[in-house]
A and B are shown apart, each in its own frame.
Chain A
Amino acid sequence: MNTTINPAVLHAPAGAYSHIVQVPGDARWTVLSGQIGVRPDGSVPDGIEAETEQTYQNIKTALGVTGLGLKDVVKFTVYLTDAAFIDAFFRVRARVLGTHRPASTLLIVSGLMKPEWHIEIDCIAAQS
Chain B
Amino acid sequence: MNKFVNPDGVRAPGGAYTHTIAVPPNAKWVVLSGQVGIAPDGKLLEGAEAQTEQVYKNILAGLKAHGMGKDDIVKFTVYLTDSRYIPAYRAARERIIGNDCKPTSTLVIIDGLAAPEMLVEIEAWAAKA
B20 touches A26 (CB 8 A): no
Residue interface mask A73-96, B partner, CB < 8 A = 1: 000010100000000000000000
Known: A38-B11, A39-B11. A62 touches B106 (CB 8 A): no
Pick from A3-11, A12-20, A27-35 the stretch touching chain B. Answer: A27-35
Q: What is the size, in residues, of chain B's interface with A at 8 Å between Cβ atoms?
A: 34
Contact with A along B5-23 (1 / 0, CB 8 A): 1011111011001111111
Q: Let me know if A110 is at the binding interface, CB within 8 A.
A: yes
User: Which residue from A28, A33, A39 sits with its C-beta under 8 Å from B25?
Assistant: A28
Chain B residues closer than 8 Å to A110, beta-carbon distance: 109-111
Q: From residue B16, how far is it (CB to closest CB) to chain A in Å?
A: 11
Is there an interface contact between A28 and B24, defined as CB atoms closer than 8 Å?
A: yes
The A-B contact count (CB < 8 A) is 92
Complexed CA–CA distance, A63 and B19 (Å): 10
Q: How many residues of A contact B (CB 8 A)?
A: 34
- Whether A34 pairs with B21 at a CB distance below 8 angstroms is no
Residue A112 interfacial (CB < 8 Å): yes
In the complex, the answer to whether B106 meets A42 with C-beta atoms within 8 Å is no
- The answer on a CB contact under 8 Å between A29 and B108 is no
Task: Determine the distance from Cα of A83 to Cα of B125 in the docked complex, in whole angstroms.
Answer: 29
- B108 near A26 (CB under 8 angstroms)? no
Q: Report Cα–Cα, A77/B17, bound state, in Å.
A: 18
Known: A33-B19, A42-B11, A65-B20. 12 other contacts (CB 8 A): A30-B21, A31-B23, A33-B18, A33-B106, A34-B77, A39-B11, A58-B10, A61-B7, A66-B20, A110-B109, A112-B108, A120-B108
Residues on B facing A (Cβ under 8 Å): 3, 5, 7-11, 13-14, 17-25, 27, 74-75, 77, 83, 86, 104-111, 125, 127
Instruction: Write the residues of chain A forming the contact surface with B, with a CB cutoff of 8 angstroms.
Output: 26-35, 38-42, 58, 61-66, 77, 79, 107, 109-113, 115, 120, 122, 128
